A = this chain, B = another copy of it.
Amino acid sequence: MPRVVECVPNFSEGRRRDVIEAIADEVRRTRDVQLLDVQKDESHNRCVVTFVGTPEGAKAAALAASRRAIELIDMNVHRGEHPRLGAVDVIPFIPIFGVTMEEAVATARALGREIWEQLRVPVFFYADAATKPERRRLPDIRKGEYEGLSAKLGDPAWAPDVGDPKPHPTAGVTVVGARRPLIAYNINLTTDDVEIAKKIARAVRESSGGLAAVQAMGVKSESGRAQVSMNLVDYTQTPVQRAYEAVREEAAKYGAEILESEVVGLIPLDAIVDVARRALRLRDFTRDQILEAKLME
């Protein structure tokens, strides 16, 4: 059985094509790693590189890509709408199969040490790799952004996990961590009334007392429908179907129904298997019974 982690580093460059390609090329030329996707966002001035590989391969690819990004990006001239702390803004590792969360955390911590030792960029660990509860969430770590880093690192409570308490002069700070796969999941309602989607979002999201590991907001979909747009940050805590049911029940209070739902980007096989297991009340079903999964062993 192969050992596979996913790695999704975010770099603070979303406009200069040659810079983005140079960073992606470092991943392409690393052994035991497969580049899956490069997404750039011009208004955020940010790109997201997705690749998979062995933990060792993924760590090597992330280090090589970081080295190149730090050479080519100067945060002192960076402007963009998305909050950020550094040229290599955040590097999450996600265990996919044959790898435990503990191993993903160990990979993140080892990479963090290398980023400091070899590239002289201080590092915070976040999510499952965090060293303190107040460093688990990215928004907390990002508060003050790149421009506020000197002040933030001067506060002993915000000393970096690795490296000197002083930002790199052009690359700032990097946040490295390990987390479960996040599922971007949107539900479109039969109504156009965005206020209903907002009320449902408030009811289902964890931060206002709803479902564990669910982030949600109410927006207008591209087709003009009211949409509950969610991040399921740990589908083992709140499975996709439970989120679906919760939205359905809340919508019913306002006379609305679910029109359709959509998964944005990738979803782990186990999350899909879990939906099928619940929908069919399947007994003793494992992913090994899926022919294609058996072939991957």
- A interface residues with partner B (beta carbon < 8 Å): 4, 6, 34, 36, 52, 96-97, 181, 188, 240-241, 244, 258-263, 265-269, 272-273, 275-276, 278-285, 289-296
Compute how far the CA of A278 lies from the CA of B275 in the bound complex, rounded to whole angstroms: 10
Complex formed: what's the CA distance from A280 to B293 in Å? 22
Q: For the complex formed, measure the closest distance between the CB of A52 and the CB atoms of chain B, giving whole angstroms.
A: 6
Contacts of A283 in B (CB 8 A): 188, 260-262
List 9 additional contacts besides A96-B291, A292-B293; criterion CB under 8 Å: A52-B291, A260-B283, A261-B282, A261-B283, A263-B289, A268-B291, A269-B293, A272-B273, A276-B276
Report yes or no: A296 in contact with B294, Cβ–Cβ below 8 A. no
Contact A276 B280 (CB under 8 A): no
What copy number does this chain have within its complex? 2
Interchain CB contact under 8 A, A6 and B291: yes
A292→B97 contact, CB < 8 A: yes
Query: Quick one: given A276-B276, A280-B240, are A291 and B260 in contact (CB under 8 Å)?
Result: no
Residues of B within 8 A of A275 (CB): 275-276, 279-280
B279 touches A278 (CB 8 A): yes
B281 engages A259 (CB within 8 Å): yes
Contact of A295 among B265, B294, B296 (CB under 8 A): B296
Bound Cα distance A97, B289 (Å):
16
Docked Cα-Cα span, A281 to B281, in Å, equals 18
Give the contacting residue for A258; candidates B259, B261, B269, B281; CB below 8 A: B281
Task: Judge whether B261 and A4 touch: CB under 8 Å.
Answer: no
Q: How far is the CB of A185 from chain B (nearest CB, A)?
A: 9
Q: Is B262 a contact partner of A282 (Cβ separation < 8 A)?
A: yes
Residue of B34, B36, B263, B295 touching A4 (CB-CB under 8 A): B295
| Residues of the B chain whose Cβ atoms lie less than 8 Å from the Cβ of A280 | 240-241, 244, 261, 275
Contact between B267 and A291, CB atoms less than 8 A apart: yes
Q: Report the minimum CB–CB distance from A281 to chain B (whole Å).
A: 5
